[in-house]
Amino acid sequence: MSTPIRLDKCVASVANCSRKDAQQYIEGGWVRVDGVVVEEPQALATPEQVTLDADAQLGPIQPTTLLLHKPAGLSTDQALALVAPATMSELDTEGPLLKHHLRRLNPLMPLEEAASGLLVLSQDGRVIRRLTEDADSIEQEFVVEVSGELKPYGLNRLADGMKYQQRMLPPCKVSWQSEDRLRFAIKQVRPGQLQAMCAEVGLQVQGVRRLRIGSIPLGKMAVGQWRRLPAGLRF
C-alpha cells in the first residue's frame, strides 16, 4: 500500500479534480476512508482507501440554524455545550449532520438562566441580523407558571399599561393556559420583566418557558435536545 498523504490530495487524484474542489467534497461529507465519512482535508489516507459518493455535489456548505430546548438553570454558555450529535432530536429531518453544522454558533435572543425553552443558535448571517436588528419587533410566546392570587383586572393590566425599568411596555396578549399557568404573546421582553409584571398583579413566578420566536415554535422537542431549522423557514 502506498504512503498515506493528505486526504484532499487523495481525493484530487481519485476524482481528477482540483485541491479546492477536493476540500469541498470532503467538508461536505461526500468522502469516505475505509467506508467511514471523514470531513477533515488534512486527515491522512492512501488513494486505495478513499471513495467519493456517487451523488457527491460541489458547493459550499450552507450555514445552519439550530433550535435548542434549553433546560432551566443553565447559562447560555452551558446550554451551548449541550449541542452534540448525541443530543440531536429525532425530529430533525435535514439530512446528514456535518461537523461544520456545529461550529461557530451564535446564541440569539438569549434566555435568562432560570428560564427554559426555545434558544436559537445560528451561523447564518441573515438569521443573526433578523434576531438582533429586528429583535424588538418579533413576537415571542412564553408559558409562565405562577402562584398567588391575581388582583382584580390583573389580566387587563398585564396586557396593557404597565411600566418596567421606567419604560412603557407595548401591549401584549395574556391568557390563562391552566389554573397556574399564564400564556404571554409579547414583544421587547427584557430580563426579569415577566417576573416584575406578574408581581404587579399579585402573582409570583415559579417558572418561565419560551414556546415560540416569531413563526418558529419549540414544538415537542425534549429538554436538552436540538434540531436544525428546516430550509426555507423564517422567523
Could you report the per-residue pLDDT of 146-160, keeping only the tens digit for each? 999 999 999 999 999
In whole angstroms, how large is the CA radius of gyration of the chain?
23
Among the residue ranges 16-30, 136-150, 165-179, the one predicted with the least confidence is 16-30
When pLDDT is averaged across residues 161-173 and rounded to a whole number, the result is: 92
CA distance 168 to 141: 20
CA distances to 33, 34, 62, 138, 201 from 121, rounded to whole Å, are 31, 34, 15, 16, 34
For residue 129, the model assigns a pLDDT of 97
| Burial status of residue 37 (CB atoms within 10 A of its CB: 0-12, 13-18, 19 or more) | middle
Task: Tell me the C-alpha distance between 180 and 144, whole Å.
Answer: 8
Question: Does the pLDDT of residue 138 top 90, yes or no?
Answer: yes
Q: What is the mean pLDDT of residues 4-21?
A: 92
The pLDDT-based confidence of 213 (bands split at 50, 70, 90) is very high
Same fold, 5-52 and 65-135+216-228: no
Q: In what order do the strands lie in the sheet with 31-33?
A: 36-37, 31-33, 50-52
Could you name the CATH architecture of 65-135+216-228? 2-Layer Sandwich (3.30)
pLDDT band, residue 39 (cuts 50/70/90): confident
> Per-residue pLDDT for 6 more than 90?
yes
CATH topology of domain 139-213: Alpha-Beta Plaits (3.30.70)
Beta bridge partners of 36: 33
Does the structure show a pLDDT above 70 at 92?
yes
User: Is 24's pLDDT higher than 70?
Assistant: yes
CATH code of the region 5-52: 3.10.290.10
Decide: 138 and 154 in contact? Cβ < 8 Å. Answer: no
Q: For residue 111, is it left (φ>0), alpha (ψ between -120 and 50) or beta?
A: beta
Say which residues have a Cβ less than 8 Å from residue 44's Cβ, sequence separation at least 6.
4, 5, 6, 7
**Structural domain spans, the chain:** 5-52, 65-135+216-228, 139-213
Portion of the chain with pLDDT greater than 90, in percent: 82
How many CB atoms within 10 Å of residue 135? 16
Q: 100 to each of 85, 86, 122, how far by Cα in Å?
A: 12, 15, 12
Q: Average pLDDT over the chain, rounded to whole? A: 94
